[in-house]
Structure 1
Amino acid sequence: MHSAKPSRLLPERELPPYAYLPGRFPHPVRDPSGHSFGSEHSAEVTSASEEFVWGADLFNQGFYWEAHEAWELLWQQAGKATAGRLFYKALILLAAAGVKLREGKPVPAARHYRRAAAHLRTLQERCAHDYETGLTLTVTELLAEIGQISQGGAAVPSDEPQPIFSFILSPSARRPA
């Protein structure tokens, strides 16, 4: 677990007032008191690159449910059976694992880790280890991080958004297709 939050990637975008946890906070989009209720949650992403970085920023700050939502828009727009779709799904599952760890539920978190790793291994097989993640971490490095998490995957119950992974998702100059 990080002792301090990493630097913001998009400091001009305001973080939500809370990091959603089921049963502890209002659902962000369905509950009228949710932090994103009534916001224009467009099915069209105007800048895939910015939405990708926004998801990484949210993830790094401990807003795992919100990161999942940012990446889900990209996943939905990725073509069926594409490398990008596999990659986004892996990130979504990793964010879901973060939510489960913050809820104090290591067993469901481990299930998400395994599924994320399976998507990344499939990505490696399809792309001969050449997939450009858009991050400074390669697919192989992400798999290694997931392997370390799954071995020490202690739950970290917390109502406060906090980074719980030992790595940071830093965008590289190139973004995934």
Structure 2
Amino acid sequence: MHIAIRTRLLPDRALPRYAYLPGKFAHPIRDPAGHSFENGHDPEITSPSDDFVWGADLFNQGYYWEAHEAWELLWQQAGKATPERLFYKALILLAAAGVKLREGKPRPASRHYGRAAAHLRAVQERGGYETGLTLTVEELIKQIDQIPSVTPPRSCEPQVVFSFLVLPSGRL
């Protein structure tokens, strides 16, 4: 399944030079040839909501590893054992599933998005969480449950592998 590149959430921010795939490209942070080597935290990110939107923009464009990195900062800052932390972990797992799908590894991808759905169900059991997305937790679980097991052909270009968007509320 190949889905066309989608409208940008932050069109003024340049996307990375490549969407990282392990073994295919230089590691973005550890390798001197990486697209984010020695950059540290992005200076254009000034608040947690910026990290959230930037992660969503990356995810929607097929930059799954990079989205994971943006959302990991939010996960680390969230309180231990909170619905917020579970929610961010679910997004991170979805992004990891995107990497695995792009690598042509449907089984590991399935494990990741299955764990993402389990985290979201735990969010529901704890009374829910205002996600800041246009999708509710329940709707996101339904989208995850419908992820096809077909993997796209490997490509050097970013590939969108999910049929749904991660859209922060109030953004198109």
Residue identity opposite 1:145 in structure 2? Q
Question: Equivalents in 2 of 1:30, 1:74: separation in Å?
Answer: 21
What residue number does 1:8 align with?
8
Aligned counterpart, 1:132: 130
2:66 is the alignment partner of 1:66: yes
| Aligned counterpart, 1:163 | 160
User: Do 2:20 and 2:27's aligned partners in 1 also have CA atoms closer than 8 Å?
Assistant: yes
Report the RMSD for the aligned CA atoms in angstroms. Answer: 1.5
Aligned mate of 1:148, from 143, 146, 149? 146
Scaled by the length of structure 1, the TM-score of the pair is: 0.90
Q: Percent identity?
A: 72
Measure, in 2, the Cα distance between the counterparts of 1:41 and 1:131.
27
Shift of 1:5: 1.2
Q: Which runs of 5 or more residues in structure 2 are unaligned?
A: none
The answer to whether structure 1 residue 172 and structure 2 residue 169 are counterparts is yes
Residues 101-145 of structure 1 show CA distances to partners (whole Å, capped at 9, x for unaligned) of 000000000000111010000000101xx4211110011111011
Say if 2:93 and 2:115, in contact at 8 Å, map to a contact too. yes
Q: TM-score, normalised by structure 2?
A: 0.93
Q: 1:36-55 alignment to 2 at 5 Å?
A: 36-41=36-41, 46-55=46-55
SS at match of 2:126: helix
The residue that corresponds to 2:57 in the other structure is: 57
| TM-superposed deviation, 1:162 | 1.8
**Aligned position for 2:84:** 84
Q: Deviation of residue 2 (structure 1)?
A: 5.2
**Preserved CA contact (<8 Å) 2:58 2:64:** yes
Which contiguous aligned blocks of 4+ residues in structure 1 show a shift greater than 2 angstroms? none
Per-residue CA shift, 1:138-167, capped at 9, x if unaligned? 111110111000xx2212233210211001
The letter for the 2-side match of 1:133 is: T
Alpha-carbon distance in 1 for matches of 2:58, 2:107: 23
Mapped partners of 2:2, 2:168: distance in 1: 19
> Aligned partners of 1:170, 1:89: CA distance in 2, in Å?
17
Unaligned 5+ segments in structure 1 are none
Q: Is the 8 A contact 2:101 2:109 kept in 1?
A: yes
